[in-house]
Amino acid sequence: MNNHLGLLLVLSGPSGAGKDTVLHRLLEVDDNLKLSISATTRTPREGEVDKKDYFFISKSEFIQMISKDEMLEHAQYCENYYGTPRGPVDEWRGKGKDVILEIEVQGGEQIRAKCPDSVSVFIMPPSLKILGDRLRNRGTEPEEVICKRLKAAREEILQAARYDYIVINDDLEECVQEIRKIIAAEKHKTARMSNMIKGVLENA
């Protein structure tokens, strides 16, 4: 019997904490997990595909979706809008699929307010020193930018206590398994099992 509403999982953490790697690994090992695709008003970059990398929409369409409460969360960066469309998330969850959103802490706060049944997980680096080492080992940004990222990371980490769970990403496979345990435990919470209880009683 599988009549559960799928989970809505919010995944956040500072730059360099390894969110992308954790997310990709989760999607590899969990067939029931779906990644929410964000919408944006910016123009596609070379190689980006509409409805795969982003939903590329006009600014007027985006604003209209906000007014109709069709965005679970949204933000504006450099004159462009970014957000999570409600429709695909609700559709997947209705089919029993678990949906994961990789978003910043501000977006995570909006999701928690609009979707009280969401489950939020903060990916924590083992330490700020290790986080700095990871960012420097990428070799893609100057020291000035790395310092700014570390300052932002400190502010984000201060918000971690608002999340339901904190998972330290020191070992990738361990981190992934901890998140999978969280998903399994959340699915068996009494509050999510009302349909199952009803089904058992109806089939007496």
Q: Which CATH superfamily is domain 8-36+97-202 in?
A: P-loop containing nucleotide triphosphate hydrolases (3.40.50.300)
User: Which stretch of DSSP H or E encloses residue 75?
Assistant: strand 71-77
Q: What does the pLDDT look like over 86-139, one tens digit per residue?
A: 999 999 999 999 999 999 888 999 999 999 999 999 999 999 999 999 889 888
Tokens 């008003």 belong to 41
Q: Domain spans of the chain?
A: 8-36+97-202
Residue 164 has pLDDT above 90, yes or no: yes
* 65-96 pLDDT, tens digit each: 999 999 999 988 778 999 999 999 999 999 99
- Closest Cα partner for 16 from 90, 125, 145, 96? 125
Distance CA 174, CA 177 (A): 5
CA distance 55 to 92: 16
**pLDDT over threshold 90, residue 13:** yes
The whole-chain average pLDDT of the chain stands at 91
User: Model's pTM, two decimal places?
Assistant: 0.86
The pLDDT value recorded for residue 203 is 77
Angle, CA of 51, 111 and 130, to the nearest 5°: 85
67 Cβ contact list (under 8 Å, min separation 6): none
